[in-house]
Amino acid sequence: MKIHEFQAKALLSQYGIPVPRGRVASTPAEAKEIATELGAKVVIKAQVYAGGRGKAGGIKIVNSPEEAEMAASELIGTRLVTHQTGPEGVPVSKVLVEEASDVERELYLSILVDGANRLPFMMASEAGGMEIEEVVQASPEKISKAYIDPAVAFQPYQGRKLAYGMNLSGKQVGEATQLMASLYNLFIAKDCSLAEINPLVTTADGRLVALDAKLNFDDNALFRHKDIQELQDKEQEEPLEVQARELGINNYVKMEGDIGCMVNGAGLAMALNDLISGCGGSAANFLDIGTVNNIDRVVNSFRMFVADSRVKAVLVNIFGGMARVDVIARGIVKAYQQLDIRFPVVIRLAGTNVAEGKRILAQSGISFIEAKDFYDGAHKAVETARGIIS
C-alpha cells in the first residue's frame, strides 16, 4: 500500500527524522494561510501517488502567500500526468505547503527488501535528488549498501559506513547514523516494504533534512496497522482495481486489451496472457480467482467484466486438481442469471468433477463457446474478440 508524501513525512517526524516545516492544504485559501504562517519562500507540492512530479509541473517554488494561492489553484482539482502515470494522469486534491530549504547537498537513503538475499538492506548515495536506478546504472561506485539481519537489527557501525559512503564528515556522521536507526525502527514497526528519502539534504546551516519521502507498506501485514490502513486514498488508484477489491477479488490487475480473463492460479493466468498475445490478442485484465472454490467469486469476476466497457470477449480457463469444476460451472450459470452479459464467453474446464461441471453448463441452456484446451481457448478468445467467430 502506498501513502502520500505529507503522510510519510508525518510518520518520519514521529520517529524523530527532521522534515521541513509545513502542512497540507485542500484549497488555495488554505495554501495561502499556511504560506503566511511559514513566511518567506515556500514550496507547493502536488500530493499524488506517482513519482516524477517535478518534471511534470507538480512542484512549484513561490515567493509570497499570494503566489502560493495561485500555484495551489493551478494544481488542486487538476490531473497530473507524469512518466509514472498513464496518459489520463492522477487527480490532485491536496498540496503540501512547505518552507523552502537552503540546500547544500542532495543525498539518497532507503531501506528495501532483497528477495535473493532474503534480507532488508539500507542503501545510501551521495547522488540524491535523481532516480536512483540511473545512479545504479551510471555510477555504481556512488552507492553503498548494508544488509540488516532482522534478528540482530540495524547497527551503528553500518550507519557510519553508509554515512562515510555519502561523503559526510564531522558531527553529521553521528546524526546520519541516528537518522538511519530511526528510519529502520519505522520500517520495522510499521511493516514497510520500502522506505525512501530522496533527497535527504544537508542545509547551509549544517542540518540533515528529509526533503521528500516515500513509504510503501506490506499489504499482508496491514491487519496489524489500523492507523496505516486509514491513510489509504482510493482516488489515487485504478477504479476497476478498487472495485475488484471491494468485491473480494484481491488478485485483479487492469491491463490494456479487450479480452476479459478469469483463471485459477497466477502462473496459469500469466501463461494465458502470454498465449493471448502470441495469438495476436490482448488481455483486458489479469484475474486469478485462486484455488478457493467459491460461487460468489465467480459471479463477482463476471461483474468486473460487465463493469469494464472495453471487454469484447471473455475467456474462462480452469485447470488442475484443486479447482472444483462443478462449483465454477454453477458460478458461471448464476452470473448469466444475475447479470446482463452481452459479450461472448469462451470456456475451458479441466479438473475435479469436470463431467458434472460440463453437464451443469449444458443443461443451463446458456450460450458459450467451448474450448478443448488452453491453446484452443486462447485462439478462440482472440478470434471472438475480433468478431471472426461468435
Indicate if 336 belongs to the active site: no
288 binds other proteins (CB under 8 A): yes
Q: Which residues of 292-327 are buried (b: 16+ CB within 10 A; e: fewer)?
A: ebbbebbbbbbbbbbebeebbbbbbbbbeeebbbbb
Nearest Cα to Cα of residue 262 among 215, 329, 176, 196? 329
Q: What is the DSSP letter of 221?
A: G
- What contacts 171, CB < 8 A, 6 or more positions away? none
Stretch that binds other proteins, among 61-69, 116-124, 227-235, 304-312 (CB under 8 A): 116-124
Rounded Cα gap, residues 154 and 41, in angstroms: 37
Rounded Cα gap, residues 219 and 96, in angstroms: 26
Pairing of strands 192-203, 103-114: antiparallel
Residues 294-353 that bind other proteins (CB under 8 A): 319-322, 351-352
Pick the closer one to other proteins by CB: 33 or 191. Answer: 191
What does the CA dihedral 89, 90, 96, 97 come to, rounded to 10 degrees?
40
Indicate if 196 belongs to the active site: yes
188 binds other proteins (CB under 8 A): yes
Q: Name the active-site residue from 5, 98, 106, 196.
A: 196
CB of residue 91 vs other proteins: minimum separation in angstroms?
Answer: 20
Stretch that binds other proteins, among 176-184, 204-212, 218-226, 228-236 (CB under 8 A): 218-226
> Between 242 and 271, how does the x/- string for binding to other proteins read (CB under 8 A)?
--------xx-x-xx------xxxxxxxxx
Using CA atoms, how far residue 215 sits from 192, 193, 249, 265, in Å, is 7, 8, 25, 29
- Residue selected from 133, 141, 230, 340 as contacting other proteins according to rule CB under 8 A: 133
Residues that bind other proteins (CB under 8 A): 113, 115-116, 118-120, 133, 149-151, 188, 191, 193, 218-221, 223-224, 250-251, 253, 255-256, 263-271, 273-274, 276-278, 282-283, 286, 288, 290-291, 319-322, 351-352
Active centre residues (catalytic): 108, 196
